[in-house]
Amino acid sequence: MAAQEEPNRINSDVARADREAQLIRRVALFAFLINLGLAIMKAVLAIISNSLAVSAGAIDSATDSIASLVLYGGVKLSSKTSPRFPLGLYKIENVISVIVAFFIFFAGYEIAHQIITPSTEQPGVSLTVIVLLFLGTAVTFLFGRYALAAGKRTGSPTLIAEGRHRQVDVISSLVVLASAAMTYFGIQATFFGISIDRIAAGLVLIFIARAGWELLSDGMRVLLDASIDLETLDQVKTIIEGEPMVVEIKSLMGRSAGRFTFLQTDVVLRTDDLTKAHQVSENIERNVREQVPHVGKVIIHYEPKKREQVLIAVPLADPGGRVSDHFGESPYFALIAVRLPDGYIGKQEVRENPHRSLQTAKGIKVAEWLVAQKIDEVVMSEDASHKGPGYVFSNAGVTVRNISKRTLPEVIESILNSYSI
């Protein structure tokens, strides 16, 4: 059954990635067409109205259309594979995010230029100009919301960048619309000699600088292979530690490329069986992909645990050291750390069984509890090879010892003899 599920899971991941890539390309194409249409419309309105503010809006939309065209081409390229780029071309999306950031800065420059440049001719704004500018602003707002939603759903930095850019464009479009409306209604309001529309345009520059800087810094972090966020790393670490055979995580690194996350980890496993180790590696990768969105690749290096010390669990009938014959119902467990080279007992403690009072599946719960304590061996007087606890210990790489000794010192002596200590 597991062998059939693995190909199905891989095919499902591939199909989902293809659907997301198609959505990104579609949004990018819509962005280009919308921006091109707005640029043409504003250019015509600028000629008709002789308005510098409308001219600035036309220049802004024209730069947006160029950026959207680059965006569309970049997203197309980012889905290509090549032997020269074995990890894919996903970072092209981040390159484009940086390019979009510079277009935002350029748009801000154009607005600043319009603020400081005095108008030599009085604009003539008609109601038709105002209506069309309003419609253009509404289209920009709705498309920005759509791009942001698609970007968050797919995890694409490109679409998120496009959505944020459109949000900035809405503000600048409102400035242009307000300026045109004030001209149409003959309002000549000033504040300390500065017109209201120029003050509003100055506020727009703050939003432009902030949005551009966020896109630029986020894109450059990815291009420079900065680590992914600590929250995601902690989530991956928890998933790996949840695998019973994992004894230690020696290293864990992650980086982003486009909308995908690439992870690499070195783990120590409680087994030297390559078949079991490979199965553990596949389990970790499957769990990571199921719980962490948009994982492009998971590289897992594993090595067996060096057995310099073993932690052994022994069921006890009482704290004095009398061995219990009933594993799941044992009221206590002794945890004994034995150093293999010389048989030194490094730690010996007695813990209460937290699952003794359970009515059902207490043996499995106790076994899982002991595995969580990172034990290497467990002593049992009964054969559990075909029972729930036996399967738990087998999957975790825990050795089960069947010893019929009655006291804890006798059990320890028997274990030391088995290691020839």
For the domain that residue 198 is a member of, what is the CATH number?
A: 1.20.1510.10
- Co-location of 380 and 300 in the same domain: no
Number of H helices and E strands in the chain, helices first, is 11, 10
2 within some domain = no
Tell me the two tokens of residue 288: 């990571």
Q: How many residues does the chain have?
A: 421
103 and 72 within one domain: yes
Task: Output the domain CATH number for residue 402.
Answer: 3.30.420.130
Domain-embedded: residue 4? no
Domain boundary among 287, 304, 321: 304
> Is residue 5 included in any domain, yes or no?
no
Task: Yes or no: say if 88 and 81 are a contact pair by the CB < 8 Å rule.
Answer: yes
Judge whether 256 lies within some domain: yes
Q: 295-304 and 260-269 as β-strands: parallel, antiparallel, unpaired?
A: parallel
Structural domains in the chain (count): 3
- Whether residue 47 is found in the same domain as residue 157: yes
For residue 3, being part of any structural domain is answered with no
How far is residue 319 from each of residues 108, 220, 270, 333, 374, measured CA to CA in Å? 76, 60, 29, 8, 21
413 in any annotated domain: yes
In a shared domain, residues 385 and 406: yes
According to DSSP, the residues that pair with 260 across neighbouring strands are 257
Domain assignment present for residue 292? The answer is: yes
Strand partners, 310: 338
Residue 247 shares a structural domain with residue 212: no
Q: Is 49 inside a domain boundary?
A: yes
145: number of Cβ within 10 Å: 14
Secondary-structure percent of the chain, ordered helix, strand, coil, rounded to 5: 60, 20, 25
Short-list 66, 86, 62, CA closest to 74 = 66
C-alpha dist (Å) from residue 181 to 39, 42, 311: 20, 15, 79
Spatial neighbors of 185 by CB under 8 A, at least 6 apart, are none
First to last CA, the chain: 44
Q: Take residue 365 and report the two structure tokens written for it.
A: 């719960």
b/e code 67-104 from CB counts within 10 Å (16+ = b): bbbbbbebbbebbeeeeeeeebbbbbbbbbbbbbbebb
Range of the domain at 373: 309-418
Structure tokens at 282: 């596949």
Tell me the residue type at 379: V
- What are the phi and psi torsion angles at 85 (to 5°)? -130, 75
Residues 6+ apart with CB under 8 A from 196: 178, 182, 189, 190
181, 320: one domain: no
Q: Are residues 237 and 218 part of one domain?
A: no
- Supply the CATH number for residue 296's domain: 3.30.70.1350
The C-alpha R_g of the chain, in whole angstroms, comes to: 33
* pLDDT 10s digits, 4-61: 455 555 556 556 666 776 777 788 788 889 989 998 998 898 788 877 677 777 777 7
Q: Which residues pair with 298 in a beta bridge?
A: 263
130 and 191 inside one domain: yes
What region, left, alpha or beta, does residue 407 occupy, with left being phi > 0 and alpha being psi -120 to 50 degrees? beta
CA distance 277 to 280: 5
Residue 363 shares a structural domain with residue 236: no
Phi and psi angles of residue 347, each rounded to the nearest 5 degrees, phi first: -150, 140
Last residue of a domain, one of 187, 208, 223: 223
- Whether residues 32 and 146 share a domain: the answer is yes
**Co-location of 180 and 250 in the same domain:** no
The pLDDT of residue 220: 84
- Specify the pLDDT at position 138: 92
Mean pLDDT by groups of 10 residues along the chain of 421 residues: 50 63 79 88 85 74 74 66 69 77 78 68 76 91 88 74 79 79 74 62 68 79 79 93 88 82 90 84 91 85 83 91 89 90 83 88 90 88 81 86 85 80 57
Instruction: Quote the CA–CA distance of 105 and 98 in Å, as a whole number.
Output: 11
**Predicted pLDDT of residue 2:** 44
Write down which residue in 255, 272, 304 finishes a domain.
Answer: 304
| pLDDT of the residue at 421 | 57
Q: Please tell me whether residues 323 and 293 are part of one structural domain.
A: no
